[in-house]
Structure 1
Amino acid sequence: MKRAHIMGIEGVGMSALARLLLAEGVGVTGCDLAPGRRAKALGVPVHAGHDPAHLQEEDTLVVPTPVPLDHPEVARAKALGLKVLRRMELLAHLLQPKPSLGVTGTHGKTTTTGMLASILLAAGLDPWVFLGGELSLLPGNARYGQGPRLAEVDESDPLFQEVGVGLAVVTNLEADHVAPQGQKAPNYHESLEALKRATRNFLERAKVAVLPAQDPGLLALAQGLPQRRFGEGGELWAEGVVLSPTESRFLLFWEGRPLGEARLRVPGRHNVQNALAASLAALAFGVEEGAILEGLARFPGVGRRFQKVGEVRGAWVVDDYAHHPTEVRATLEAARLLGRRVRVLFQPHRLLRTLALWEAFAEALEPAEEVVVLPVYTAGEKGEVAPEELAQMIAQRLTARGKRAITLGKEEALAYAKASATPEDLWLTLGAGDVTELAWRLVHEG
């Protein structure tokens, strides 16, 4: 590969691939329906929109999962004899040359990968890193190094099962990115069983699997495969966990002996679990114990993971990527540690996911004092139920349970949050779509 054109280059994963290809000396061009700061930061030619005419001197076209293979730009590439690679196919290719680690799971994979990156850096291993988020320890969402290759492997893409790594971490597994019965989409698994089969295939390609000891479903899925287990009942666990509004600390035990006190600069019990996953993966990879504690202490948190953006009228504004009921529940648990009135701007993400999980979302949002539900961020999906109607379903269920909940559009929600913010509040923006813009606007336009 000498020159690659990357469709959807503004996306966090596609821009990371572009960054890594550039570091290997590959010429890169790209296009996106809405090019933004990530694409601009690459310093390469980027076109707005998609057009077969974009393809000029490239020899490879890299295609994100949602783009169908009969898309005009893809068809043009095939007609010209270009190699066409899906993002997971390219990632699998890039991971091959060096010892590798891959992290997947429904929740916590970005944070766990970020923690592992911090540990490998503390150990002086000069890691190559592919991340589905932004980490201040890296140049954004990727790092080119000569050492081991570490990647977040997104289980939402059915092709993840074809990525081979030496050490595979699975943080957990739930029915997310699963299409409702009878419906199909390129970035959804056909069923929970299909997701489980794909996860088993991913694990079978690895030399060893790192798994949570308290997850019987995952352990059954990995039966017969070489594995290491973290958490209660595993070989590595936490004792004396202390959670505060802005950090966590605990004693790290491995095979019955204490390794020392682990300190995290991120709150929440879920992040203790993420730290255990990263720590055992590092130990299994041969990293020294001291570097593990140092790496955890250095980890600053990943962008959009309980990230304090600033304040408006004395109220804290915190942004979080949570877009599954389990993640929403964990984020609210961490938010309540701050002792403030928790008010939420929630933007459901993807139509099919929200249609399948809207009742679970309402239940997960109950700990909040108030919830403003925005229309679903569709990410290009089309469905029989309107984005606004799904939002109303969630709000109505919350209201029926005695909670204060309303539905508003983005601009109305922003105006409401600004006007009603008080020093006792924590405004929490939740979702994987563009709700993050509201957090920044609340602070900088407030």
Structure 2
Amino acid sequence: MKRVHIMGIEGVGMSALARLLLAEGVAVTGCDLAPGKRATALGVPVHAGHDPEHLKEEDTLVVPTPIPQDHPEVVAARERGLRVLRRMELLAQLLAQGLSLGVTGTHGKTTTTGMLASILLAAGLDPWVLLGGELSLLPGNARHGLGPRLAEVDESDPLFREVRVEIAVATNLEADHVAPPGHRAPNYHGSLEELKAALRGFLEGAKVVVVPASDPLLLELSQGLPRRTFGPGGELSAEEAELGPSGSRFLLVHRGRALGEARLQVPGRHNIQNALAAALAALALGVAPEAVLEGLARFPGVGRRFQRVGEVRGALVVDDYAHHPTEVRATLEAAGHLGRRLRVLFQPHRLLRTESLWREFVGALSLAEEVVVLPVYTAGEKGGVSPEELSARIAEELRRQGVEARLLGKEEALAYARAAAAPGDLWLTLGAGDVTELAWRLVHEG
């Protein structure tokens, strides 16, 4: 593999792979429907759109999960004798080149991977890192090093079951990225049972499996494997935890022995769980407790994970990637520690997910005092229900439950939030789509 063309190179995972390949001396080109800052930062030739003519002298085509096998660019690559790799197949090959750690799970995998990267850096281990988000310590979404190889392993891709790492971390597992009956897609599992089987396959390939002690499903899926557990009832736990508006502190206890006080710069009880997962994986690797505590304390948070953007008219603006009801609830609970009036700009992500979980979204969003619901960010999905209809359903049910809620388009939502912002407010933008733009425009546009 000497010359690689990457489809969807603007994506956070694909651009990270490109960055790592470049560092290893591979020539990279790419294309994307909407090339942006990630693609530009790579400094390689990037085409707008997808076209078989993009393929010149490459020997390998790397394809993101949603691209079908009959896509014209994929068909052309095969006809020309190029090797065609899915992104997860390439990741598996890269991780196989050294001692490796992989973090997966429905929620928290990006933050947990970032925390683990911070610990490995604090330990002086010169890690190789692939992350599904931006982390200033790397910088960016990847780091090329000669030490342990650490990657976020996306459970939405059914091929993740084939990835092999020495230490596998599973933060949790829910029925996300599971296609409703009658729907099939490359980036969805056919059923919850298929998702569970894929996770079991991933865990079976590891020499050490790290899971939460309080999660019955993960305990079941890791039964009989070389398992180590964290959280209540596990070998590594957090005692005497104190939650604050911008972080937390707790006593890190390993098998009954206090290792020291851990301090986090990221808020929320869920981030204590993420820290325990990262810490136990590091301890399993042989990292000293002092480096574990130092790495946790240094971790600044991943981009779009409760990221403070700034203020507008005395209101604090925070942006978060939460796009599943469990994540939305955890984010709103963490936001509650700030003691401000909680007002949300929420953009549901993907039609199939929203149609399946809209009632759960309502339950989570009801923790806010006001919710502005934007049309669903479809991410290219098509369905029987329109994005506006689904979002209107969420807003209507929130109003029925006594929450101030309205359905607005992006520009209307921005204008409303700017006009309504007041001292003591927290405006929180939520979603995995382009709602993040509203947070930055709200703060930086006049």
Shorter-chain TM-score: which interval?
Answer: over 0.9
Match of 2:19 in 1: 19
Whether 1:123 aligns to 2:123 is yes
Q: C-alpha separation between the residues in 2 aligned to 1:220 and 1:65?
A: 28
Whether 1:156 aligns to 2:142 is no
The runs of at least 4 aligned residues of structure 1 exceeding 2 Å deviation read none
Deviations 1:21-76 (A, max 9, x none): 00000000000000000000000000000000000010000000011010000011
Q: What displacement does 1:4 show?
A: 0.2
Whether 1:243 aligns to 2:248 is no
AA matched with 1:312: V
Q: C-alpha separation between the residues in 2 aligned to 1:50 and 1:338?
A: 45
Q: C-alpha separation between the residues in 2 aligned to 1:348 and 1:191?
A: 22
Match of 2:423 in 1: 423
Q: C-alpha separation between the residues in 2 aligned to 1:315 and 1:205?
A: 48
Match of 1:283 in 2: 283
Matches for 1:356-367 after TM superposition, within 5 Å: 356-367=356-367
Q: C-alpha separation between the residues in 1 aligned to 2:172 and 2:8?
A: 28
Give the match's secondary structure for 2:150. Answer: strand
Q: What displacement does 1:441 show?
A: 0.3
Give the match's secondary structure for 2:133. Answer: strand
Q: C-alpha separation between the residues in 1 aligned to 2:434 and 2:194?
A: 29
Match of 1:334 in 2: 334
Whether 1:445 aligns to 2:445 is yes
Match of 2:263 in 1: 263
Q: C-alpha separation between the residues in 1 aligned to 2:217 and 2:33?
A: 39
Give the match's secondary structure for 1:233. Answer: coil
Give the match's secondary structure for 1:134. Answer: coil
Give the match's secondary structure for 1:35. Answer: coil
Whether 1:343 aligns to 2:343 is yes
Q: C-alpha separation between the residues in 2 aligned to 1:297 and 1:62?
A: 37
Whether 1:143 aligns to 2:143 is yes
Give the match's secondary structure for 1:140. Answer: coil
Q: C-alpha separation between the residues in 1 aligned to 2:225 and 2:436?
A: 40
AA matched with 2:227: Q
Q: What displacement does 1:251 show?
A: 0.3
Match of 2:226 in 1: 226
Deviations 1:387-446 (A, max 9, x none): 001101111111111111110000000000000000111000000000000000000014
AA matched with 1:101: L
Matches for 1:382-421 after TM superposition, within 5 Å: 382-421=382-421
Match of 1:78 in 2: 78
Give the match's secondary structure for 1:161. Answer: helix
Deviations 1:118-147 (A, max 9, x none): 000000000000000000001200000000
Q: C-alpha separation between the residues in 2 aligned to 1:419 and 1:313?
A: 9
- TM-score, length-scaled by structure 1: 1.00
Match of 2:315 in 1: 315
Q: C-alpha separation between the residues in 2 aligned to 1:162 and 1:380?
A: 26
Q: C-alpha separation between the residues in 2 aligned to 1:393 and 1:258?
A: 49
AA matched with 1:43: G
AA matched with 1:110: T
Q: What displacement does 1:182 show?
A: 1.8
Give the match's secondary structure for 2:131. Answer: strand
Deviations 1:83-105 (A, max 9, x none): 00000000000001110000000
Q: C-alpha separation between the residues in 2 aligned to 1:371 and 1:328?
A: 12
Whether 1:166 aligns to 2:174 is no
Match of 1:192 in 2: 192
Whether 1:377 aligns to 2:405 is no
Match of 1:294 in 2: 294
Give the match's secondary structure for 2:50. Answer: coil
Give the match's secondary structure for 1:103. Answer: strand
Whether 1:66 aligns to 2:66 is yes
Q: C-alpha separation between the residues in 2 aligned to 1:313 and 1:280?
A: 43
Q: C-alpha separation between the residues in 1 aligned to 2:370 and 2:184?
A: 35
AA matched with 2:373: V
Q: C-alpha separation between the residues in 1 aligned to 2:408 and 2:302?
A: 28
Q: C-alpha separation between the residues in 2 aligned to 1:127 and 1:287?
A: 13
Q: C-alpha separation between the residues in 1 aligned to 2:159 and 2:312?
A: 43
AA matched with 1:276: L
AA matched with 2:96: Q
Deviations 1:133-179 (A, max 9, x none): 00000120000000000000000111111111010000000010111
Whether 1:57 aligns to 2:57 is yes
Q: C-alpha separation between the residues in 1 aligned to 2:106 and 2:216?
A: 15
AA matched with 1:340: R
Q: C-alpha separation between the residues in 1 aligned to 2:184 and 2:384?
A: 14
Give the match's secondary structure for 1:135. Answer: coil
AA matched with 1:342: L
Residue identity over aligned pairs, in percent, reads 79
Give the match's secondary structure for 2:89. Answer: helix
Match of 1:204 in 2: 204
Q: C-alpha separation between the residues in 1 aligned to 2:161 and 2:217?
A: 18
AA matched with 2:193: E
Give the match's secondary structure for 2:358. Answer: helix
Q: What displacement does 1:363 show?
A: 0.4
Whether 1:33 aligns to 2:28 is no
Q: C-alpha separation between the residues in 1 aligned to 2:62 and 2:261?
A: 44
Structure 2: gaps spanning 5 or more residues = none
Q: C-alpha separation between the residues in 2 aligned to 1:96 and 1:146?
A: 13
Give the match's secondary structure for 1:381. Answer: coil
Q: What displacement does 1:3 show?
A: 0.4
Q: What displacement does 1:221 show?
A: 1.0
Give the match's secondary structure for 2:239. Answer: strand
Q: C-alpha separation between the residues in 1 aligned to 2:363 and 2:234?
A: 31
Q: What displacement does 1:320 show?
A: 0.1
Structure 1: gaps spanning 5 or more residues = none
- Number of equivalent positions: 446
Give the match's secondary structure for 2:342. Answer: strand
